[in-house]
């Protein structure tokens, strides 16, 4: 609040309006003092308003909007004081004194002239800064309904609002008078990105409470070591939430590129010429950590499922894996602190240990297949492992066994074809069955031996070029057996 001038000078103020020759020197000195103090205060307030912006690394777009609203309120207060009767009176008196042609003031008149010139400059600065703040609030306020999901929604719901959000940002960049600089727009994008990361972290830690409607945390982020509690955070429920964060980042960048391409089709308009690394770099870094967490908890889920199946002699392998997990857990890493590089180094070591465990598991799977002679039993075991195993190298190993089994299946079809040709004129009949019923039962038994496995092989394997030969053999043998049964009916 600017100091009021002393009202004892009111009479002299009225006199100077009619008579500029006889000016009260004492009043001028007092007005000059107070005028300079005002100038210093207002300049300090302007500098404070411009420099008070201490960027919070976790700040989102709401912080940006609130900053400009506060700046507008402060500048409005300063502007109103500049237009007040108190200020106008002092300014008018000093202006009149600086224009006094008499030599009564001498050199102080030059000082007064410089002071009033400086005041006019300050008035222009305040007016321009206020216009800027008002204009920025006007356009940034249009974002409010589009950024609300960044605070209240989930990664999935945010994806649905991205086109409208990006269109609103494009409008600001195109027509805003002050805010459309590269620095300002990049800063806005960075805050939007940051809030998406904040939202992802929050949904990862509270997804169950949010889903059940029991979240009363006030958006406070809890310690992320709770993710190790697999009763509260089952991997099969946590992993989809983690994946939704990756999908949000991909959708965000895609929508940015779509908007950028649309602007490029209007070459006369302002373009999106921002640094993608500045805008998306932090989100990409966060998503790299999320991908590792998906791998980590996916591996844990894989071995927990193995444990539930109570497979014979699997205990030593599970013990080895649990020891690796315990050792990694004892490192006490902040799982969602994606700036912590020690996590990445330790995660590499963990994966090396897991590879050793998986080598043992591979040997276990191979050993189990060696003792199974039936193709159908082998397929059942394969399906069981396929449902359990999550990591690519183990799944690839299981898929390769399907190929081997399909080849063995082709050999079995040949054996059944030979068996049919050998006994078709005198089928082996189960005791006490009539000839017709016994012959049909025999052919159906042969058909089941080829149709049962065929129904269990993955469709992708059956469609492969290398499989066509066996599929053709199956169709031919199946048709032959069907025709045989038809003849006996």
283-303: pLDDT as tens digits: 999 999 999 999 999 999 888
Q: How far apart are CA 256 and CA 427, in angstroms?
A: 72
Count of CB atoms situated within 10 Å of the CB of 260? 16
Q: What is the mean pLDDT of residues 391-419?
A: 81
Residue 266 clears pLDDT 50, i.e. is over it? yes
Which of 60-69, 270-279, 315-324, 366-375 has the lowest average pLDDT? Answer: 366-375
Does the pLDDT at position 320 exceed 90?
yes
Q: Please compute the mean of the pLDDT values over residues 87-106 and round it to a whole number.
A: 69
What would the mean pLDDT of 70-93 be, rounded to a whole number? 85
Q: What is the pLDDT of residue 50?
A: 61
Q: 443 pLDDT exceeds 80?
A: yes
Closest CA to 388 of 483, 445, 308, 293: 308
The arithmetic mean of pLDDT across residues 114-142, rounded, is: 90
pLDDT in tens, 164-217: 999 999 999 999 999 999 999 999 999 999 999 999 999 999 988 888 776 655
Return the structure tokens found at 369: 């297949």
Residue 107 pLDDT > 50: no
- On the question of pLDDT at 133 being above 80, the answer is yes
3-state SS class at 240? helix
At residue 277, the pLDDT reads 94
Ranges assigned E (strand) in 26-154: none
pLDDT tens digits for range 143-160: 999 999 999 999 999 999
Instruction: Give the mean pLDDT of 401-410.
Output: 82
CA-nearest of 302, 202, 287, 216 to 249 is 287
For residues 243-269, average pLDDT: 92
- And the tokens for 138? 């006007």
> Would you say residue 21 has pLDDT above 70?
no
User: How deeply is 133 buried, as exposed, middle or buried, from its count of CB atoms within 10 A (0-12, 13-18, 19+)?
Assistant: buried
| pLDDT of 392 above 80 | no
> What is the CB-side half-sphere exposure of residue 345 using CA atoms within 13 A?
5
- Token readout for 57 is 């690394």
Q: Which of 159, 147, 176 is closest to 62 using CA atoms? A: 147
Query: What is residue 463's predicted lDDT score, i.e. its pLDDT?
Result: 85
Task: Confirm if 235 and 301 have CB atoms less than 8 A apart.
Answer: yes
Taking only the tens place, the pLDDT of each residue in 345-381 is 999 999 999 989 888 888 888 887 777 778 888 888 7
pLDDT in the model for residue 340: 87
pLDDT for the residue 441: 87
């Amino acid at each position: 609040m600017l100091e009021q001038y002393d009202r004892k000078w009111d009479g002299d103020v009225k006199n100077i309006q009619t008579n500029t020759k006889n000016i009260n020197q004492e009043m001028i000195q007092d007005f000059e003092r107070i005028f300079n103090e005002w100038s210093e205060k207002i300049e300090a307030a302007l500098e404070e308003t411009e420099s008070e912006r201490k960027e919070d690394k976790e700040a989102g777009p709401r912080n940006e909007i609130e900053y400009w609203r506060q700046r507008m309120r402060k500048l409005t207060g300063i502007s109103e004081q500049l237009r007040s009767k108190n200020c106008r009176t002092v300014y008018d008196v000093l202006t009149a004194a600086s224009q006094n042609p008499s030599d009564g003031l001498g050199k102080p008149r030059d000082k007064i002239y410089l002071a009033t010139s400086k005041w006019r400059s300050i008035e222009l600065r305040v007016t321009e800064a206020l216009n800027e703040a008002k204009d920025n609030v006007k356009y940034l306020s249009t974002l409010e309904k589009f950024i609300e999901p960044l605070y209240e929604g989930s990664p999935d719901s945010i994806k649905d609002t991205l086109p409208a959000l990006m269109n609103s940002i494009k409008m600001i960049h195109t027509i805003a008078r002050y805010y459309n600089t590269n620095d300002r727009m990049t800063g806005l994008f960075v805050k939007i990105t940051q809030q998406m990361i904040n939202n992802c972290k929050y949904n990862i830690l509270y997804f169950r409470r949010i889903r059940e409607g029991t979240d009363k945390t006030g958006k406070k982020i809890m310690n992320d070591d709770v993710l190790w509690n697999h009763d509260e955070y089952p991997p099969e429920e946590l992993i989809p939430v983690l994946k939704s964060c990756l999908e949000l980042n991909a959708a965000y960048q895609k929508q940015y590129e779509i908007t950028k391409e649309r602007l490029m089709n209007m070459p006369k308009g302002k373009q999106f010429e921002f640094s993608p690394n500045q805008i998306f770099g932090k989100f990409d870094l966060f998503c790299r950590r999320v991908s590792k967490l998906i791998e980590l908890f996916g591996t844990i889920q894989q071995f927990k499922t193995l444990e539930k199946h109570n497979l014979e002699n699997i205990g030593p392998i599970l013990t080895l894996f649990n020891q690796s997990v315990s050792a990694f857990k004892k490192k006490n890493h902040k799982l969602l602190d994606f700036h912590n590089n020690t996590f990445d180094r330790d995660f590499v070591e963990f994966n090396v240990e897991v590879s050793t465990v998986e080598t043992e598991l591979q040997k276990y799977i191979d050993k189990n297949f060696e003792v199974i002679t039936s193709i159908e039993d082998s397929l059942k075991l394969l399906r069981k492992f396929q449902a359990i195993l999550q990591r690519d190298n183990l799944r690839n190993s299981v898929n390769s066994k399907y190929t081997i089994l399909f080849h063995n299946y082709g050999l079995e079809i040949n054996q059944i074809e030979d068996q049919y040709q050998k006994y078709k004129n005198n089928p082996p009949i189960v005791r006490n069955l009539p000839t017709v019923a016994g012959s049909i039962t025999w052919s159906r038994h042969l058909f089941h031996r080829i149709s049962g496995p065929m129904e269990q092989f993955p469709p992708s394997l059956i469609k492969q070029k290398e499989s066509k030969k066996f599929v053709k053999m199956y169709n031919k043998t199946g048709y032959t057996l069907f025709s045989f049964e038809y003849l006996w009916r």
